[in-house]
């Protein structure tokens, strides 16, 4: 590994973040252009596309608030994004799994922040259901955050970390 690679750490994986943002924004654009608001389009059993607008956070938390939540969630997501970038910069070349997980989370966070700033709400369109029970609608950004967070949990539970302490003889 050369000096420029080691100085960037996990930042070499930011292309994953960019990919998530691009796929998220393209899919939201097509959903907004081609779906009717809250009018499900059945694709498969238990899977619809349904256009929804989320003014809150996950599971529409605080979506009925007076509007302050838009900027509150934007500031939180931007703060977390800065933290993630700084964390990624400190990673080594061997910490690919962690870098990819953080890149997915960062891409999802920034994809939804884009919507909040530009539109005042997040576009959701993926509707998974069983019978009459529907999971809250979500999008590509939400999926990336979920996959990244799952990878973080797997990394914490199953990947061995090298010990920072020297062996006592």
Task: Enumerate the active-site residues.
Answer: 124, 142
Adjacency order of strands within the sheet including 47-54: 41-44, 47-54, 122-130, 133-134
Beta bridge partners of 48: 42, 127
The per-residue b/e assignment along 6-20, b for 16 or more CB within 10 angstroms, e otherwise, is eeebbbbbbebbeeb
Q: Are 10 and 86 in contact (CB under 8 A)?
A: no
d(CA 115, CA 107): 13
């Amino acid at each position: 590994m050369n000096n420029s690679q080691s100085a960037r750490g996990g930042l070499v994986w930011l292309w994953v973040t960019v990919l998530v943002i691009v796929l998220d924004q393209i899919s939201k654009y097509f959903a907004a252009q081609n779906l009717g608001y809250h009018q499900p389009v059945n694709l498969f059993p238990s899977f619809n596309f349904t256009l929804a607008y989320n003014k809150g956070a996950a599971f529409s938390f605080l979506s009925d608030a007076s509007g302050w939540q838009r900027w509150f969630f934007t500031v939180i997501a931007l703060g977390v994004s800065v933290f993630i970038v700084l964390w990624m910069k400190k990673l080594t070349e061997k910490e690919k799994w962690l870098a990819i997980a953080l890149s997915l989370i960062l891409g999802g966070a920034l994809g939804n922040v884009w919507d909040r700033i530009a539109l005042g709400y997040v576009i959701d369109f993926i509707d998974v259901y069983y019978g009459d029970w529907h999971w809250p609608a979500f999008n590509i950004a939400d999926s990336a955050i979920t996959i990244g967070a799952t990878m973080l949990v797997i990394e914490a539970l199953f990947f061995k970390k090298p010990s920072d302490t020297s062996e006592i003889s």
